[in-house]
Structure 1
């Protein structure tokens, strides 16, 4: 499932931006940036039609509709000799036949369009079981709730986590990402904190918990550092794992979903 995050100039609209990244990023030129290819690709641990979305960025002064890129040749291959060709359905959306991503496999995405080739690789990590999803009062707004994901981080294994939060089927814009630099081998109660939480009694909440590789951690962490403050430097692109100057990401990750109704 996609985070539905938009890239490049849309970052300035989606979140109030600030700050730094743990890797080098590229400063945006808000008024006259040249259009760039935007690729959002995933392979998950579910038996589904794996999907890649391709669009093109637009200048900041334009509408926030990113034009779909049609007619691309899109494939996903793994390091065990399997190759999957993706076909275009909805313009700019390319889907494979159903297959299940496998833990420990490295996947390579290849996109050919406009005489250029873009590639990215991602390795699906071993899954961590997420035990429970709970909630508690927001200290600053007691009538609102903060969600908490509970899990045991494995000892002596580097783990990286990304969480998607849905409230009544609408995805929260906040980026939730964590690693185990300070919690290796410990039991973790990870708060999905939002500066402006709107979760209240009666809401149906779903969290998609993903185990991601390290490159994807850097990507989501960079986005998380640019949100919610609004008084930082010029917004910047997160460090993509795609080649040839494309924006976006390609992620092979495991998926587990947790749901609760707020009472």
Structure 2
């Protein structure tokens, strides 16, 4: 099976990091603040309904914040929003605020392939999005080996396997979290070349050591969300001298003003999550 591209989500663009790096070495005594362009703040909706296998999926969380300038040390949280999700049967699931910017539902009912619609009223904006809940193929087994990295150094490699269904097109997003990672690392794949076969996904990191716990969250996702995430991940890992795609829009629509759209994507995913103890 192919080695699937690994992505790391970064908060700052590589281009800006490169500029700051050069400024550091050309002017070690002076502090330089770049005069960066600013834009009107946008709402940011982190709305992942994730149904982990082995749970009833009843507790779900949606987070709402706003964009801020590069030099702002905090992320503005949005309070006082009205948040609900309705399924195609007309059932309504209300998300209540538990802290600034955090909205929780404790009686959500996940159903594979059912359509759900998100409604948000926040800061005078009316936002909606629609998506179906996508199933995930369970992880069958996990193996561990020692392999050389690109520099020839031996590193630990963890491989997990799952059987892809033959009767449908499938798209997968996996994230890895551990104590040696500052941010989650992501991998995306689909079954275009492997439909109906066993798929293996490999993960290695130079800092992964015996005794670490590697949390693997393997999601089944829609084709549209897969394509959206590919754009996001390609942009965050692009060459610093290339122009990343701008205005990457999700599926969340402002019903009053289409140009004043929110950032983020309303997605519903079944997931298999495994905490693997590195040997």
Q: How well do the aligned residues superpose, as a CA RMSD in angstroms? A: 2.7
Residue 156 of structure 2, aligned match among 145, 153, 156: 145
Change (3 A) 1:44 1:173: closer
**Which whole-Å CA distance do the structure 1 matches of 2:86 and 2:180 have between them?**
32
Alignment of 1:123 onto 2:124? no
* CA offset digits 1:114-161 (Å, max 9, x no partner): 221111112112331221233333422644323322111111311111
Residue 108 of structure 2, aligned match among 79, 99, 117: 99
* CA offset digits 1:93-116 (Å, max 9, x no partner): 001123231101111111111221
Gap regions ≥5 residues in structure 2:
1-7, 19-35, 255-260
The within-5 A match list for 1:89-238 is: 89-140=98-149, 142-168=153-179, 172-192=183-203, 197-235=206-244, 236-238=246-248
**Which whole-Å CA distance do the structure 2 matches of 1:177 and 1:90 have between them?**
32
TM-score (norm 2): 0.77
* Partner of residue 265, structure 2: 249
* Partner of residue 66, structure 2: 56
* CA offset digits 1:46-84 (Å, max 9, x no partner): 423211100000122332x21000001100111111111
**Which whole-Å CA distance do the structure 2 matches of 1:40 and 1:127 have between them?**
20
Deviation at 1:169, TM superposition (A): 8.5
* Partner of residue 93, structure 2: 84
Deviation at 1:40, TM superposition (A): 0.4
Rg larger in 1 or in 2?
Answer: 2
TM-score (norm 1): 0.82
**Which whole-Å CA distance do the structure 2 matches of 1:62 and 1:172 have between them?**
20
Gap regions ≥5 residues in structure 1:
18-29
* CA offset digits 1:165-213 (Å, max 9, x no partner): 12239564322111112211121111235xx542122211120111111
**Which whole-Å CA distance do the structure 1 matches of 2:192 and 2:248 have between them?**
21
Residue 70 of structure 1, aligned match among 71, 79, 91: 79
- 1:164 and 1:172 in contact (8 A); partners too: no
